[in-house]
Amino acid sequence: MDDLLAAVKFNDQGLVGAVVQDAQTREVLMFAWMNREALRLTLAERRAWYYSRSRSKLWLKGESSGHTQKVLSVRLDCDGDAILLEVEQTGGACHTGYQSCFYRRAEPGGWVEDGVKIFDPDRVYGA
């Protein structure tokens, strides 16, 4: 585990960016941040942990929504400063109810929401 963590270049805030991809559909679901402990837990438990910059704390994906991510693979990029997780996503990845956080596409007139909405956030998180 220490060998794995040693190759990762955390930034000056102690964080590394993580891209999350659905292993089955290959859809890119989200981008989030991990600190060293989040990455260690993710590697050890094979479920996705992140670090919330706004709340300054570790969070287990799905801890309030139940929309957990089972981690099938963890990849590191050439520079050692970005992670790619392949996951089995339960429910939707995005807190807005969309399958993916990238539910907006650029069109000449503005951002168009064309994502697939699969749950009602008021029901999952409380209104």
CB of 17 to a second copy, least distance (A): 6
At its nearest, how many Å lie between a second copy and the CB of residue 94? 5
Q: Which CB atom, from 23 or from 60, has the smaller least distance to a second copy?
A: 23
Distances (CA, A) of 22 to 10, 36, 87, 100: 24, 23, 5, 9
Task: Give the integer Cα–Cα distance in Å for 52 and 63.
Answer: 13
Q: Which is nearer to a second copy, 66 or 104 (CB)?
A: 104
Residues belonging to the chain: 127
CB of 13 to a second copy, least distance (A): 11
**What does the binding site for a second copy look like in residue numbers (CB under 8 A)?**
3-4, 7, 17, 19, 21, 26-28, 30-31, 43, 73-79, 82, 84, 94-96, 98, 101-106, 109-111
Question: Which is closer to a second copy, CB of 82 or CB of 118?
Answer: 82
